[in-house]
Amino acid sequence: MRMWFLVLAMAGGSLHGEAQDTPQRRLIALEIAWNQAVQLRDGAAVEPLLGNELIYIDYDGTVMNKGQYMTSVRSSALHADQVTNESMKVQVYGVSAIVVGVYRERGTRHGKSYLHRERFVDTWLNRGGAWVCVASQSTLITH
């Protein structure tokens, strides 16, 4: 059940016809799938989206590798009640791409509620036809 969104994302533009399956469309679908999988703490759905060499910098400056990030995804200390993507812009450079976006998240952490608005940059590489994220960084929007 939890995998449905990832299957849709992997299928790319199949919902709209193969001709419209652009890298931009696919990457946005993968970003949405990633968000939903984290919300559900579904590590199995997140794992194939990430390169093994992932560098992840969280909004508080914490640096994680893929293993550390996957552990945090599965943690029960966090529960995101609502995640809203406000914007995403994809720039494709051949077999690499950059996604810049803003998202808003409301949830509870260690029993305490929070509301974040963050801007992120994700760097994706196309490997054998599959996009994987190799770097992701978020910064709290405080201005």
> Residue 92, interface with other proteins (CB under 8 A)?
no
CA–CA gap between residue 102 and residue 143 (Å, rounded): 14
* CA 61/CA 25 separation, integer angstroms: 29
Q: How many residues bind other proteins (CB under 8 A)?
A: 53
Distance, CA of 143 to CA of 136 (rounded, Å) = 21
- Measured from the CB atom, the residue of 17 and 111 that comes closer to other proteins is 111
Question: Contact at 8 Å (CB) between 49 and 29?
Answer: no
For position 88 contacting other proteins by CB under 8 A, the verdict is no
In the complex, minimum distance from the CB of residue 119 to other proteins, in angstroms, rounded to a whole number = 5
CA distance 67 to 61: 17
- Return the residue of 9, 35, 50, 90 that touches other proteins, per CB under 8 A: 35
The residues, any chain, with a CB within 8 Å of residue 99's CB and separated by 6 or more, are: 27, 28, 31, 88, 89, 90, 91, 120, 121, 122, 124
Query: Is 78 a residue that touches other proteins (CB under 8 A)?
Result: yes
Q: Which of 60, 111, 128, 129 binds other proteins (CB under 8 A)?
A: 60
Chain residues that interact with other proteins, rule: CB under 8 A: 34-35, 38-39, 53, 55-63, 69, 71-73, 75, 77-78, 80, 83, 91, 93-96, 98, 100, 103, 105, 109-110, 114, 116-121, 123, 125, 134-143
